[in-house]
Amino acid sequence: MVLGDNMQKKWEIRQSLSKEEKHLVKNLAFINKCPMIIAELLYTKKLVQKEDIDTFFSPSLKRLHDPFLFSDMNKAVDRIIEAIDSGEKITIYGDYDVDGTTATALLFLGLSSLNAVVDYFIPHRMIDGYGLTLSGLEQLHEGGTSLIISVDCGIIAFEEVATINSMGMQIIITDHHNAKDESPAAYAIINPKKKGDSYPFKELSGVGVAYKLLMAIYGRLGIFHGEYLTKYLDLVAVGTIADIVSLTDENRVLASIGLIHLTQRKNHGLNALMNLAGITNRAPDVNDIMFAIAPRINAAGRMGSAMRAVELLTCKDPIKSQNLAEIIERENSLRQQIDYKTLQEADDLIHKKYKDLNDTGCIVISSDQWHPGVIGIVASKIVDRFYRPTIMISNSEGMGSGSGRSITEFDLFGALEQLEDYVETFGGHKYAVGLTILPEYIETFEDNLQKIIKQQIKINELSPKLMIHRKIELYEVTPKLLQWLNKFTPFGTNNPAPVFYTLNVQVEGYPYIVGKNHLKLKVIKDGCELDLIGFNLGNYLALIKNKHCLAIAYTLELINSSGKQMIQGNLKDIKIL
């Protein structure tokens, strides 16, 4: 077994600028009165005109596209307002992840404020399965629902939509997942990826699409302004960032302004979660959502019912919110324990099953013992560890429930489209999929997936790549640089935090471990020091000693330490020289 923890990353350093480009960058630095490093970042993002730079640095809701550009938006809004006016029961039907639960909460709160008769439903992961399910639809029909609004699901639910119609209900689908050439026979479909839809931005999250629908309703009612425009942007930011969609265009606006509203802590449920996570005396950021808030919201759906997460996000009683948050906190602790156990079992299984991963295109493993709520998280960790597309399958009562994660080089959703004869259901996108499969088909499914991967990529050359912006020296790491870098936030997909590298730094003092497996150390060069943290890089501790000479790749961030702001490097890789 060659691959494993702390795989050596391949540093891919951005190509040096030409003489002509350097001249353009110098002009950018002069005009914007910014460091050359910042001017280079602007240039690489094709931000060279003042208007474009101002728009990027100052996200504004005025930059959002008209929601009525969705092809079915008028039809959807008319039907919802008709249902509100006539007192029909509307049910929001959501997915159990953070994107789905925040979208459900947003539409429930938004329609409730219009005095709609509205309820919500989230399927139970272990009982109902993913997306629109026949068991869930029967519950809605028996409960008197006449109009269903799906969020973050439904775009390929052909059979289920036909069932809704046969029951005498109607459905408006809002989704952001990949669509097929044909669409389900819904009353209306709001999805930027629907074939033929002319909405200009295709990368909205599920909660982003739900927000556009709510804003269209408010627009039709003449209240598309002030508090109505911004009231639920904290939920939009959490769902958008957690779903790892492209943080560009509208998503950059929604995430940026939503983070500001999250700081105001007006949502009692989110406030309770932040307090439990220790996010108290500072403004929450992207990392807080990704690694503190989102895992807790997800834990409700992974370990029990995601209905509890929506109840928390819609709760208007601070005391009840605190109680619900504490229940979810306990579920998250249990989830972490199961994660750890499942990862150990998966690692053992991989070592037994695959003798040489250098000749293996993907990892497909299954067990009757795994909790279906955690296999997606563990699959991500397996990808990080072995850098192979990974599908983990939990078998129960004659059916396998699988969750897959992929690597940069391979479209896993596209592969499943070629293998749909071997699976019962599947959904997702390029890097993350869900599926159900009969256990007897798993081996044949894997064999064919291996063939597809080997046709597309060179297996023996697969290794994680680290994209690096440029070389810098420690004396260039100044408060002024950090102030400028902060203007590029929030960082995320298609707007990553720039990675820098520095050669020949010397370890100062003795590195140590914090948390579970995070490496802390200090380096020095040319009389300048930099504190570093390497998340999940604790295995390097045995290799790095005082006075060792290193090459380091890292991002930069401002952190609060003992009430003071300080600059810290977030290590991405280390080379011992």
The stretch 209-215 carries a mean pLDDT of: 98
CATH number of the domain enclosing 471: 2.40.50.460
Phi, psi of 412 (to 5 degrees): -70, -40
The stretch 151-162 carries a mean pLDDT of: 95
| Per-residue pLDDT tens over the stretch 387-419 | 999 999 999 989 999 999 999 899 999 999 999
CB-CB contact of 470 with 500 (8 Å): yes
Residues 441 and 505 both lie in one domain: no
Specify the pLDDT at position 13.
95
With vertex at residue 377, the alpha carbon angle to CA 298 and CA 174, rounded to the nearest 5 degrees, is 50
Looking at 442, 461, 480, which one is the last position of a domain? Answer: 461
H-only helix segments in 370-473? 375-386, 412-418, 442-456
Task: Determine, yes or no, domain membership for 350.
Answer: no
For 349-377, give one letter per residue: b (16+ CB within 10 A) or e.
ebeeebeebeebbbbbbbbeebbbbbbbb
Residues 81 and 183 both lie in one domain: yes
H-only helix segments in 10-58? 19-32, 36-44, 50-57
Looking at 461, 482, 502, which one is the last position of a domain? Answer: 461
Specify the pLDDT at position 370.
96
Looking at 314, 330, 346, which one is the last position of a domain? Answer: 330
Residues 480 and 401 both lie in one domain: no
Residues of the domain holding 160 = 62-330
Residue 454 confidence class, pLDDT cut points 50, 70, 90: very high
Task: Determine, yes or no, domain membership for 326.
Answer: yes
Residue 1 confidence class, pLDDT cut points 50, 70, 90: very low
Residues 114 and 248 both lie in one domain: yes
Sheet of 399-405, strand order: 363-367, 390-396, 399-405, 432-437, 425-428
Task: Determine, yes or no, domain membership for 94.
Answer: yes
Tally the domains of the chain.
3
Which tokens go with 210? 């739900």
Residue 304 confidence class, pLDDT cut points 50, 70, 90: confident
Task: Determine, yes or no, domain membership for 528.
Answer: yes
For 230-263, give one letter per residue: b (16+ CB within 10 A) or e.
bbbbbbbbbbbbbbbbbbbbbbbbbbbbbbebbe
Task: Determine, yes or no, domain membership for 5.
Answer: no
The stretch 460-486 carries a mean pLDDT of: 93
CATH number of the domain enclosing 174: 3.90.1640.30
Cα–Cα distance list, 84 to 74, 112, 115, 187, 458 (Å): 15, 10, 7, 16, 56
Mean pLDDT over all residues of the chain? Answer: 94
Residue 90 has pLDDT above 80, yes or no: yes
Specify the pLDDT at position 7.
63
Residue 179 has pLDDT above 60, yes or no: yes
Q: In the chain, what percentage of residues exceed pLDDT 90?
A: 84
| Per-residue pLDDT tens over the stretch 251-271 | 999 999 999 999 999 999 999
Residue 9 has pLDDT above 90, yes or no: no
Residues 266 and 400 both lie in one domain: no
Residues 275 and 313 both lie in one domain: yes
Residue 173 to residue 392: CA distance in whole angstroms: 29
Residue 500 has pLDDT above 80, yes or no: yes
What region, left, alpha or beta, does residue 536 occupy, with left being phi > 0 and alpha being psi -120 to 50 degrees? left
Task: Determine, yes or no, domain membership for 418.
Answer: yes
CB-CB contact of 533 with 518 (8 Å): yes
Residue 508 to residue 523: CA distance in whole angstroms: 5
Q: Which residues, in sequence order, are bridge partners of residue 90?
A: 118, 147
Task: Determine, yes or no, domain membership for 518.
Answer: yes
Residue 213 to residue 217: CA distance in whole angstroms: 6
Compute the half-sphere exposure of residue 477: CA atoms within 13 Å on the CB side of its CA.
Answer: 27
Residue 331 has pLDDT above 80, yes or no: yes
**CA 70 centroid distance within chain:** 24
| Per-residue pLDDT tens over the stretch 32-66 | 999 999 999 999 999 999 999 999 999 999 999 99
Compute the half-sphere exposure of residue 120: CA atoms within 13 Å on the CB side of its CA.
Answer: 29
Residues 500 and 531 both lie in one domain: yes
What stretch of H or E contains 315? Answer: none
Compute the half-sphere exposure of residue 414: CA atoms within 13 Å on the CB side of its CA.
Answer: 10
* Neighbour tally for 395: CB within 10 Å: 19
What stretch of H or E contains 273? Answer: helix 268-276
| Per-residue pLDDT tens over the stretch 543-577 | 998 899 999 999 999 987 777 889 999 999 999 98
Residue 4 confidence class, pLDDT cut points 50, 70, 90: very low
CB-CB contact of 297 with 328 (8 Å): yes
The answer to whether the Cα torsion of 382, 388, 394, 395 is positive or negative is negative
Residues 450 and 483 both lie in one domain: no
Reference 184, options 166, 150, 158, 147; nearest CA is: 158
Specify the pLDDT at position 252.
98
Residues 443 and 490 both lie in one domain: no
Those residues whose C-beta lies under 8 Å from the C-beta of residue 355, and which sit 6 or more positions away, are none
Q: Write the DSSP assignment of 94-146 as a string of letters.
A: --SSHHHHHHHHHHHHHHHTTT-EEEEE---TTTT-SSS-HHHHHHHHHTT--
Express the helix, strand and coil content of the chain in percent, nearest 5 each. Answer: 45, 20, 35
Residue 104 to residue 35: CA distance in whole angstroms: 44
Specify the pLDDT at position 199.
97
Specify the pLDDT at position 125.
77
Task: Determine, yes or no, domain membership for 1.
Answer: no
Residue with the larger pLDDT of the pair 424 and 127: 424
Task: Classify residue 159 by burial, with Cβ atoms within 10 Å: 0-12, 13-18, 19+.
Answer: exposed
Specify the pLDDT at position 555.
98
Specify the pLDDT at position 446.
96
Reference 13, options 465, 408, 345; nearest CA is: 465
DSSP letter at 168 equals T
The stretch 447-454 carries a mean pLDDT of: 95
Residue 2 has pLDDT above 60, yes or no: no
Q: What does DSSP say about strands 399-405 and 390-396: parallel, antiparallel, or unpaired?
A: antiparallel
| Per-residue pLDDT tens over the stretch 65-77 | 999 999 999 999 9
Residue 485 to residue 335: CA distance in whole angstroms: 35
Q: Which amino acid is at 472?
A: I
Task: Classify residue 226 by burial, with Cβ atoms within 10 Å: 0-12, 13-18, 19+.
Answer: exposed
The stretch 80-84 carries a mean pLDDT of: 98
What stretch of H or E contains 241? Answer: helix 233-242
Residue 507 to residue 130: CA distance in whole angstroms: 49
The stretch 88-94 carries a mean pLDDT of: 98
Which tokens go with 284? 């929450």
The stretch 96-108 carries a mean pLDDT of: 96
Residue 241 confidence class, pLDDT cut points 50, 70, 90: very high
Q: Which of 92-96, 127-131, 285-289 has the lowest mean pLDDT?
A: 127-131
Residues 407 and 265 both lie in one domain: no
Residue 5 has pLDDT above 60, yes or no: no
Residue with the larger pLDDT of the pair 561 and 373: 373
What stretch of H or E contains 294? Answer: helix 294-303
CATH number of the domain enclosing 364: 3.10.310.30
Specify the pLDDT at position 3.
39
Specify the pLDDT at position 353.
95
SS3 255: helix
Global pTM value: 0.92
Q: E-assigned strands of 397-536?
A: 399-405, 425-428, 432-437, 465-468, 470-471, 500-514, 518-525, 528-534
Residues 79 and 209 both lie in one domain: yes
Residues 431 and 536 both lie in one domain: no
